[in-house]
Structure 1
């Protein structure tokens, strides 16, 4: 019977992992790593969340009993997005219009070896992402200048994959330290339509340059410009690059029932994302004029994060954990710098889209109750300040939810094998933006979502 349970759980995970691997919450960040953390509101700094601890505070890997662990799992997010033009009342919904649209799936793989005072681990996790697709027939595909229905698809997709190599060491019976060095892969798909008014505002602010600019501005009745790069696959992006990241952490046992934890995740250092692209000039008289070339996203990084947490065992069955995070978005998402180089001529266009993301505070609290040897139940609350200023809101990057409630459970087949599952609901959040250059018409974006996480862990 146990073999049957394992086969069913593993089969479900394999099916899930064939899906699209991207999500978004807390700006581009998931609220936690793995179902144990997500079920407890995203807490992880001072509590045993299993092998996924290598992604939050590697020092917690020593909380696991001695043994060799293998984990396979997946995270899923289904988002509900509605963009409204507050000038006309028209709406655009992000449904299943293409492969850049959700629901989104992120993989979890981990291998941990734990013995005496040391723990070693390696894994693969999708850590950051955003994605949406509005199709070709909404008001987002129409220019405000000359009211041209372009028939161009408006979409985005970001995926950041993290492969950590982690180590943790129990210095004393109370103090544990840990760290990881990560290989980081970032990929992007994008279908971005800019109205002529937006192009003019970017030029006036010194955010638009290159040899292609005079030629494009000289096109009769220029109504907009469209940048498109899309790999057409269920995962990844047409523009991508590898880089490095990492984190450090420690835990300290104040007493047998209370632990504190600190962790610092470094800002990623990923090379410029590059790939094949098309730049299209939209003319009210000549139609769409495409130019083929290559695109480059310069210095597109994920932010540094500081986390402090505490966990306390009120009884041998009931535990509460609390985490505080400071996410330094302002150092990573001030501008998105995009460059296009035309084939043949080598002429370039460079633009810097102002995002001006803010540093945010994130608060998480979660509780766990071990009902019996087989069942454990969890619940939590997660709140993050809004990273996106209204003036930086774009319909294709609606990473706006801030408040989540979570719940989860574990079923242990025995001491060496278990399945964990968690659900998180992000309450609807609405932001508005009526200013150039990030939008040409005043918009209101409503965004809510449901997330799920499932993992199977085996100890050998």
Structure 2
């Protein structure tokens, strides 16, 4: 296990805790990759965004200058997440507790090389994540009948993308590109389900296994708590490796206008596995902890289609737009949890999610003057989550963003890029079993800051 942590840390980089709540992005995906794209509202399909272009459209690597480039950067994300119990008025906030799940610095590292018509790239970028930290003394840690458990309620999902990309300039008008990506995904989860939630899942055929009759045989069963977390910046309670990839093209419609198309495939990540504890909560027998092995099955990132256009207006202005379709419906139907106790007993649970496919529009503008480039952008997306399947520990609901940023060219070889993104507060309510007992209202907004240094040689 120690070796596994070392390998993951080397590839993913050190995740440095910087506050009290890990943030969500546009569902589980960051709005942009690298400060240039992020400052332009996430638009990245049809213009040069540097090494991070391999995360959206690898064909953009051939828009870079000839030679080599090293990209080193990071993002710092700060979220404001709260969940209110509509029945009691109590509020649990994700700002007040942290165990390496909270706002963080996520590093980026890449190398690119362009020689003539061919460009190559390799990098490591955080692709997305979601997380909350509600502590152990709020209403989310209270079982059916108002029984306080002292058990934690939290989450952290992190997906790292390691692309190997290439692009080729076919002629003066057409560029094609592709990437093969290694993917690592890790999840921490601490979640209490009340007896009514467990009963609702049983009634809909979403729970099975030999532990089920054991829970039903307890004298006064009040709930069940899943726990699989690692108090570590990168390593998670359950994790898995997999692969993905994307293809893209750039068409130079005119000297000033470029059109881009890119398609990222649905991920193929193995079942996330790790050690965990299932705790049965009973008002008479107390808390009965069953250590064992947890498996999260078929938890994938969705396919995505991007259409982009960029237009140079004179020598100073650049305008860019991306229209994206993210195919969440195929990737996120259920959260499939399997638990096998060390005693050999097991339970399988399907938590309904039923995400909707999402459409997003990113708009950005850049103004170049001297050594400075000033940028701004917005992003609007349809809502992928359904209110009746909202989980308090996964409130991935923001869908409107604004961004600002700049680049400063220190020298011909060195450049610094910066971006700030704000996700405007979004609210969603859920009053239906099985994903909540009491009616809840979730609120979430966030700010993120990205900084990168580029050296060309």
Output the TM-score relative to the length of structure 1. 0.95
1:25 aligns with 2:25: yes
Consecutive unaligned residues of structure 1, counting only runs of 5 or more, are: 1-14
Name 1:320's counterpart in structure 2: 319
Q: C-alpha displacement at 1:242, in angstroms? A: 0.5
Name 1:361's counterpart in structure 2: 359
Give, in whole Å, the separation in 2 of the partners of 1:264 and 1:100: 33
Give, in whole Å, the separation in 1 of the partners of 2:349 and 2:391: 16
Give, in whole Å, the separation in 2 of the partners of 1:139 and 1:394: 14
User: Residues 129-183 of structure 1: CA distance to partner in whole angstroms, max 9, x if unpaired?
Assistant: 001110011011001x221100000000001011000000000111000000000
Name 2:4's counterpart in structure 1: none
Q: Retained in 2: the 8 A contact 1:53–1:60?
A: yes
Q: Retained in 2: the 8 A contact 1:47–1:60?
A: yes
Name 1:419's counterpart in structure 2: 416
Distance 1:434-1:195 versus aligned 2 partners, 3 A rule: same
Distance 1:355-1:248 versus aligned 2 partners, 3 A rule: same
Give, in whole Å, the separation in 1 of the partners of 2:14 and 2:162: 20
* Alignment coverage as a number of residue pairs: 443
Q: C-alpha displacement at 1:235, in angstroms? A: 2.3
Q: C-alpha displacement at 1:95, in angstroms? A: 1.7
Name 1:370's counterpart in structure 2: 368
Give, in whole Å, the separation in 1 of the partners of 2:185 and 2:308: 29
Give, in whole Å, the separation in 2 of the partners of 1:17 and 1:170: 36
Q: C-alpha displacement at 1:234, in angstroms? A: 2.0
Structure 1 SS opposite 2:59: helix
Q: Retained in 1: the 8 A contact 2:62–2:175?
A: yes
1:386 aligns with 2:383: yes
Q: C-alpha displacement at 1:101, in angstroms? A: 3.5
Q: Retained in 1: the 8 A contact 2:44–2:53?
A: yes
Name 2:435's counterpart in structure 1: 438
Name 2:132's counterpart in structure 1: 132
Name 1:7's counterpart in structure 2: none
Q: Retained in 1: the 8 A contact 2:382–2:399?
A: yes
1:347 aligns with 2:339: no
Q: CA RMSD in A?
A: 1.3
User: Residues 7-39 of structure 1: CA distance to partner in whole angstroms, max 9, x if unpaired?
Assistant: xxxxxxxx9953379642111111010100010
Name 1:428's counterpart in structure 2: 425
Q: Retained in 1: the 8 A contact 2:417–2:451?
A: yes
Consecutive unaligned residues of structure 2, counting only runs of 5 or more, are: 1-12
Name 2:260's counterpart in structure 1: 261
Q: C-alpha displacement at 1:415, in angstroms? A: 1.7
Give, in whole Å, the separation in 2 of the partners of 1:237 and 1:248: 30
Name 1:398's counterpart in structure 2: 395
Structure 2 SS opposite 1:135: coil
Give, in whole Å, the separation in 1 of the partners of 2:276 and 2:229: 8
Name 2:148's counterpart in structure 1: 149
Give, in whole Å, the separation in 2 of the partners of 1:74 and 1:205: 44
User: Residues 91-130 of structure 1: CA distance to partner in whole angstroms, max 9, x if unpaired?
Assistant: 1001241225421222211000111100000000110100
Give, in whole Å, the separation in 2 of the partners of 1:288 and 1:235: 30
Give, in whole Å, the separation in 2 of the partners of 1:415 and 1:392: 52
Q: Retained in 2: the 8 A contact 1:100–1:133?
A: no
Output the TM-score relative to the length of structure 2. 0.95
User: Residues 276-295 of structure 1: CA distance to partner in whole angstroms, max 9, x if unpaired?
Assistant: 00000000112111000000
Name 1:122's counterpart in structure 2: 122
